[in-house]
Amino acid sequence: MTTKNRVYLTSSTSLSCAGDSNQALFDNVVNGVTGIAKDPNYFDSATPAIGKFTQNYNFHKALVSQCQYILDLCQLEDFTDTLLIVGSSVGGMAETEKRFFKDKNYTNIDPNFHNIHTIAHVLKSHFDFYDDISFSTACTSSANAIGYAYEVLSKGLYKRVLVVGADSLTHTTIGGFLSLGVLSSAPCKPFDISRDGMNVAEAIACLLIETEPQQNCVEIKGVGYSSDAYHMTHPHPEGLGAISAMSSALRAANLDTEDIDYINAHGTGTSANDNAEANAIASLFGEHTPVSSTKAITGHTLGAAGALEAIISSLVLTEGILPQNTFLDKAENTDIALMKKSKISSVSYVLSNSFAFGGNNCSLIFGAVK
Amino acid sequence: MKIKLEILSASSICAKQEIEDLHTKILVPKMVTRRRLTRAAKMAIYLADHVSFTQGKIIYGSSFGELPATANILHAIQKEEGISPTHFQNSVYNTAVSYLSMLHENKEEILTVSSGDNTSEKVLKAGAIKALEGGTFLLLVTETLNIDAIDEVNTCHAHLESGAALKVRLSTETPTIDIKTLPVDKHLPASVQLLYALASTIKTTQKNIIEVAL
Element (H, E) at B6: strand B2-15
Q: What is the mean pLDDT of residues A25-43?
A: 96
Task: Write out chain B residues lying below 8 Å of A91, CB-based.
Answer: 114
Task: Write out chain B residues lying below 8 Å of A154, CB-based.
Answer: none
Tell me whether residue A121 is one of the annotated catalytic residues: no
Name every residue whose Cβ is closer than 8 Å to that of residue B15 and which is 6 or more positions away in sequence.
B159, B160, B161, B162
pLDDT at A347: 98
Decide if B67 contacts B161 (C-beta within 8 A).
no
Is the pLDDT at A44 greater than 90, yes or no? Answer: no
Among candidate residues B7, B11, B21, the one with its CA nearest the CA of residue B200? B11
Q: What is the mean pLDDT of residues B88-116?
A: 98
- Among A120, A133, A175, beta carbon nearest to B125: A133
Name every residue whose Cβ is closer than 8 Å to that of residue B81 and which is 6 or more positions away in sequence.
none
CATH of domain A7-368: 3.40.47.10
Task: Write out chain A residues lying below 8 Å of B137, CB-based.
Answer: none
Tell me whether residue A234 is one of the annotated catalytic residues: no
Is the pLDDT at A196 greater than 90, yes or no? Answer: yes
Which CA distances in Å does A172 have to A74, A96, A333, B73?
37, 11, 31, 7
Distance from CA of A357 to the nearest CA of B (A): 7
pLDDT at B156: 77
Decide if B46 contacts B22 (C-beta within 8 A).
yes
Q: Side chain identity at A3, as an amino acid letter? A: T
pLDDT at B151: 87
- Among A105, A176, A226, beta carbon nearest to B109: A226
Distance from CA of B204 to the nearest CA of A (A): 31
Q: Which of A67, A139, A188, A217 is catalytic?
A: A139
pLDDT digits (tens, 9 = 90+) for A281-314: 999 999 999 999 999 999 999 999 999 999 999 9
Would an 8 Å CB–CB cutoff place A100 in contact with chain B?
yes
SS3 B38: coil
**What span, in angstroms and rounded, lies between the C-alpha atoms of A298 and A54?**
11
| DSSP label of A257 | G
Element (H, E) at A223: strand A218-227
Decide if B74 contacts A96 (C-beta within 8 A).
yes
pLDDT digits (tens, 9 = 90+) for A203-231: 999 999 999 999 999 999 999 999 999 99
Is the pLDDT at A262 greater than 80, yes or no? Answer: yes
pLDDT digits (tens, 9 = 90+) for B29-83: 999 999 999 999 999 999 999 999 999 999 999 999 999 999 999 999 999 999 9
Distance from CA of A130 to the nearest CA of B (A): 10
**What span, in angstroms and rounded, lies between the C-alpha atoms of A352 and A366?**
8
- Among B63, B92, B104, beta carbon nearest to A358: B92
Q: Which of A60, A117, A121, A266 is catalytic?
A: A266
Give the A window 36-65 contacts with B, CB below 8 Å: 44
DSSP A328-359: --SBS-TTSEE-SS-EE---SEEEEEEEEGGG
- Provide the CB-side half-sphere exposure for A94 (13 A, CA): 16
SS3 A55: coil
Is the pLDDT at A4 greater than 90, yes or no? Answer: no
Element (H, E) at A29: helix A22-31
Would an 8 Å CB–CB cutoff place A178 in contact with chain B?
yes
DSSP A272-336: HHHHHHHHHHHHHHTT-SEEE--HHHH-B-GGGHHHHHHHHHHHHHHHTEEPP-TT--SBS-TTS
Residue A227 and residue B78: Cβ atoms within 8 Å?
Answer: no
**What span, in angstroms and rounded, lies between the C-alpha atoms of A313 and A205?**
13
Task: Write out chain B residues lying below 8 Å of A244, CB-based.
Answer: 107
pLDDT at A2: 61
Helix %, strand %, coil % of chain B (to 5): 40, 20, 40
Q: Is B25 exposed, middle or buried (0-12, 13-18, 19+ CB in 10 A)?
A: exposed
Helix intervals (H) in B90-210: 95-104, 119-131, 190-201
Q: Side chain identity at B185, as an amino acid letter? A: D
The structural domains of chain B, with segments of one domain joined by +, span 2-213
pLDDT at A3: 63
pLDDT at A43: 87
**Helices and strands (DSSP H and E) totals, chain B:** 8, 6
pLDDT at A57: 94
Is the pLDDT at A1 greater than 60, yes or no? Answer: no
Element (H, E) at B143: strand B137-144
Q: What is the mean pLDDT of residues B115-142?
A: 97
Is the pLDDT at A98 greater than 60, yes or no? Answer: yes
pLDDT at B58: 98
Which CA distances in Å does A7 have to A1, A22, A297, B171?
14, 21, 29, 27
Distance from CA of B133 to the nearest CA of A (A): 6
Decide if A16 contacts A53 (C-beta within 8 A).
yes
Fold annotation for B2-213:
Peroxisomal Thiolase; Chain A, domain 1 (3.40.47)
- Return mean pLDDT, chain A: 96
Q: What is the mean pLDDT of residues A53-60?
A: 95
Strands B58-61 and B110-113: parallel
Name every residue whose Cβ is closer than 8 Å to that of residue A118 and which is 6 or more positions away in sequence.
A88, A91, A92, A95, A112
Helix intervals (H) in A32-125: 59-74, 93-103, 118-124
pLDDT at B173: 97
- Where is pLDDT greater, at B82 or B194? B194
CA A114 to chain centre: 22
Dihedral (C-alpha) A55, A59, A61, A64: value to the nearest 10 degrees? 110
Helix intervals (H) in A186-298: 240-253, 271-285, 295-298
pLDDT digits (tens, 9 = 90+) for B152-193: 988 777 899 999 999 999 999 999 999 999 999 999 999 999
